[in-house]
Amino acid sequence: MAGGGSTRGSGTKKRARIEIIPLIDVIFFLLATFVLFTLSLNKSNGIQVVRPTSETGEPRDPAGWATVSVTATGSIAWDKDPITLDEFLNRLRIFHNQHPEPDAHILINGDADAMWSTAYYVLDEARKAGIQKVLIETESHSGGQS
């Protein structure tokens, strides 16, 4: 068959092709994974509380303070890390051992709808541990921390 058919010889190379559709799928998968991961990071900032407002609050420097958050449901957190009451007592003792009396400061960051009994408990246990400087954090009417 001398007319030459459509078959090629066995010595020719096949050319590589880049498939665009699977490449786009992979890019969208990576984008979706990145977005979901970023959203999960924003939700893991710890306990969010809505502080009560105050007209007489004074700005403070949070450096060197341990913040104990009290939520509206009565749960507590140590520096935005949710903990149980037993963990709270242990962290309070450790904090007091690491910061002797003039340097030991506790800040109660309570939700406006929180039960006062939990805040009283935090205050009482801090004083039992020997920490005398305990403040309640509020939101001033001008929008700043106090």
Q: What is the CATH number of the domain that holds 132?
A: 3.30.420.270
Q: Is 23 within the bounds of a domain? A: no
Residue 63: the pLDDT is: 66
Give the range of the structural domain holding residue 124, as residue numbers without chain letter. 53-140
Q: Is 27 within the bounds of a domain? A: no
Residue 29 has pLDDT above 90, yes or no: yes
The 3-state secondary structure of the chain, one letter per residue: CCCCCCCCCCCCCCCCCCCHHHHHHHHHHHHHHHHHHHHHHHHCCCCCCCCCEECCCCCCCCCCEEEEEECCCCCEEECCEEECHHHHHHHHHHHHHHCCHHHCEEEEEECCCCCHHHHHHHHHHHHHCCCCEEEECCEECCCCEC
Average pLDDT over residues 106-113: 81
Residue 9: the pLDDT is: 56
Q: Is 19 within the bounds of a domain? A: no
Q: Is 67 within the bounds of a domain? A: yes
Average pLDDT over residues 68-95: 86
**Nearest-5° angle of CA 115, CA 48, CA 98?**
85
d(CA 74, CA 69): 10
129-146 pLDDT, tens digit per residue, is 888 788 777 776 654 455
Q: What is the pTM of this model?
A: 0.57
| Residues 44/56, Cβ–Cβ less than 8 Å | no
What total of structural domains would you count in the chain? 1
Q: Is 74 within the bounds of a domain? A: yes
Of 145 and 49, more confident: 49
Residue 41 has pLDDT above 80, yes or no: no
Strand partners, 133: 105
Q: Is 36 within the bounds of a domain? A: no
Query: Average pLDDT over the chain, rounded to whole?
Result: 77
Q: Is 20 within the bounds of a domain? A: no
Q: Is 4 within the bounds of a domain? A: no
Q: Residue 10 — very low, low, confident or very high, per pLDDT cuts 50/70/90?
A: low
Residue 14 has pLDDT above 80, yes or no: yes
